């Protein structure tokens, strides 16, 4: 199975300054959620033999990524 390439949010540098102030943070959040923003943690697939502890750790990583407080 091949991974589908997700579309990227275009650069906001060419936008009007007011619009850029609104769209810029949205772009950053989308990049963090999808893992394409530099420095964002990489999520890797678990093997089919993953332990319960590994599954819990992976789920907690996902929760931390989508939770606004980060915890």
pTM over 0.75: no
Mean pLDDT of 24-31: 88
CA 7 to CA 30: how far, in whole Å? 11
Look over the chain and give the mean of its residue pLDDT values, rounded to a whole number. 84
Structure tokens at 43: 């999520």
pLDDT in tens, 5-22: 777 777 888 888 899 899
> What is the reported pLDDT for 65?
82
Spans of all domains in the chain: 17-66
DSSP 35: T
Instruction: Tell me the angle at which helices 52-66 and 17-34 cross, rounded to the nearest 10 degrees.
Output: 180
For residue 3, how many other CB atoms are within 10 A of its CB?
5
């Amino acid at each position: 199975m091949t991974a589908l390439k997700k579309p990227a949010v275009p650069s906001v540098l060419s936008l009007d300054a007011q619009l850029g102030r609104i769209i810029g943070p949205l772009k950053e959040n989308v990049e963090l959620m999808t893992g394409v923003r530099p420095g964002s943690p990489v999520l890797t697939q678990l093997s089919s033999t993953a332990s319960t502890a590994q599954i819990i750790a992976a789920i907690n990583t996902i929760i931390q990524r989508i939770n606004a407080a980060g915890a």
